[in-house]
């Protein structure tokens, strides 16, 4: 099957990419100006205990050894221990990955169909009222950073105007995110508002182009109803370019939730990343950065495969 070959080739490339990323992550964490031991023990400590902790954390090993130990560990499924909590990273992070995944999946399931629908409908009603309103709104939304958006939502729904939703998410350790349904509404809403404008604008542009195409005019001149023209002739061709934008935005949801999670005190990987950077918890930083890079690689792969499958010209030229 050519498509299997295509996917495995791209997966191989993805592994190479991830290796390069891991090297980069390691170099960047090495270049951090401050010292994890110092960060853990605080200012009032003795040089001796600092020295002992550094020894214990393995910071005196040569850089190459540190990198190769880390890499070999990863290949064995061992991501190391957190400097701060001394827990195995997989143990420490797993529930948070689940929490973030929940945000991401729910956000995606809401925003993708919503933005495809908005985009397609705007294109159909091009230059009419719905299009003008949705285009302007999405432009404004796209221009607002999500922490501003999140703050505005908190002001509106939690503190100043209404008091219907909690301003922060309170999930007990080990509990599922849906145990506090009202607490996840605002974070999800913020993410949906951050992603929808991009995808819907791309969908609109793609759809406008397709609706002006010769084959759509041809389909109309064959006497087909507007609904069939739309569903059979326009949509399949318009979706191809949109896959890419959807994938990039989903990947963004995985990594870019840092600020949103922070804002709502949501216990996901975003807030874990922020915490670990402040504490110079190098193994956790490295693991999270690598995982987010992995999501990017995977999403791009999925988008490329989807585009190829949706485009006969590409599909039939696979070797």
Say how many residues touch another protein, by CB under 8 A: 23
- What DSSP string runs through 23-89? HHHHHHHHT-SS-HHHHHH-SS--HHHHHHHHHHHTTTS-HHHHHHHHHHHHHTT---B-TTT-SBH
Q: Using an 8 Å Cβ cutoff, are 147 and 141 in contact?
A: no
Nearer Cβ to another protein (232/278): 232
Rule CB under 8 A: choose which of 237, 244, 265, 300 binds another protein.
237
**Cα–Cα distance for residue pair 90/92, rounded to 1 Å:** 6
CA distance 67 to 268: 26
224 binds another protein (CB under 8 A): yes
Interface positions, 256-315, toward another protein (CB under 8 A): 310-313
Question: Least distance to another protein from the beta carbon of 308, Å?
Answer: 13
CA-to-CA distance for 97 and 94, rounded, in angstroms? 5
Nearer to another protein, 285 or 308 (CB): 308
Cβ-based nearer residue to another protein, 124 or 144: 124
Shortest CB 220 distance to another protein, Å? 7
Closest contact distance (angstroms) between CB of 130 and another protein is 17
11 with 32: CB under 8 angstroms?
no
Q: Which H or E run contains 214?
A: helix 214-221
* Cα 102 to Cα 176: distance, rounded to the nearest angstrom: 9
Q: What are phi and psi of 175, to 5 degrees?
A: -85, 155
Closest approach of another protein to the CB of residue 235, in Å: 10
Give whichever of 244 and 311 is closer to another protein, judged by the CB atom.
311
Residue 214 beta carbon to another protein: minimum distance, rounded to whole angstroms:
4
91 near another protein, rule: CB under 8 A: no
Site for another protein contains 225 (CB under 8 A): yes
Unique residue bearing structure tokens 């609109």: 204
Site string for another protein, 184-223 (x = CB under 8 A): ----------------------------xxxx-xxxxxxx
Rg for the chain, CA atoms, rounded: 24
Nearer Cβ to another protein (159/225):
225
In the complex, what is the shortest distance from the CB of residue 311 to another protein, in angstroms, rounded to a whole number? 7
**In a 10 Å sphere around its CB, with 0-12 CB exposed, 13-18 middle and 19+ buried, how is residue 25 labelled?**
buried
Query: Between residues 178 and 215, which has the closer beta carbon with respect to another protein?
Result: 215
Q: Which two tokens stand for residue 179?
A: 């145990």
CB of 218 to another protein, least distance (A): 4
Q: Which of 7, 90, 104 is nearest to 298 (CA)?
A: 7
Give the nearest distance from C-beta 211 to another protein in angstroms.
Answer: 9
Bridge partners, residue 88, by sequence? 81
From 110-118, 154-162, 224-232, 264-272, span contacting another protein (CB under 8 A): 224-232
Listed ranges 29-37, 39-47, 226-234, 253-261: which one lies at the site for another protein (CB under 8 A):
226-234
Residues forming the site for another protein (CB under 8 A): 212-215, 217-225, 228, 232-233, 236-237, 310-313, 316
């Amino acid at each position: 099957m050519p498509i299997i070959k295509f996917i495995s080739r791209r997966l191989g490339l993805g592994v190479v990419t991830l290796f390069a990323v891991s090297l980069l992550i390691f170099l960047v964490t090495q270049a951090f100006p401050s010292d994890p031991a110092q960060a853990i023990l605080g200012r009032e400590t003795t040089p001796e205990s600092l020295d002992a902790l550094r020894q214990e954390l393995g910071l005196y090993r040569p850089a190459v050894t540190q990198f190769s130990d880390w890499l070999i560990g990863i290949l064995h499924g061992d991501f190391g221990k957190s400097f701060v909590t001394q827990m195995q990273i997989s143990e420490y992070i797993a529930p948070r990955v689940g929490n973030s995944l929940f945000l991401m999946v729910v956000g995606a399931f809401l925003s993708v169909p919503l933005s495809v629908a908005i985009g397609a409908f705007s294109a159909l009603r091009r230059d009419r009222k719905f299009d003008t309103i949705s285009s302007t709104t999405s432009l404004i939304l796209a221009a607002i950073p999500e922490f501003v958006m999140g703050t505005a939502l908190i002001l509106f729904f939690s503190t100043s105007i209404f008091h219907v939703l909690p301003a922060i998410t309170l999930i007990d350790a080990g509990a599922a995110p849906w145990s506090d349904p009202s607490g996840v509404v605002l974070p999800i809403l913020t993410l949906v508002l951050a992603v929808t404008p991009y995808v819907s604008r791309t969908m609109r542009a793609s759809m406008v182009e397709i609706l002006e195409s010769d084959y759509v005019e041809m389909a109309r001149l064959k006497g087909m109803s507007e609904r069939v023209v739309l569903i059979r002739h326009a949509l399949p061709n318009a979706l191809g370019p949109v896959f890419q934008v959807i994938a990039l935005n989903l990947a963004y949801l995985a990594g870019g939730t840092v600020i949103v999670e922070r804002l709502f005190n949501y216990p996901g990987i975003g807030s874990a990343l922020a915490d670990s950077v402040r504490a110079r918890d190098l193994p956790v930083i490295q693991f999270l950065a690598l995982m987010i890079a992995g999501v990017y690689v995977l999403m791009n792969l999925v988008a490329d495969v989807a585009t190829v499958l949706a485009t006969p010209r590409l599909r039939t030229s696979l070797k």
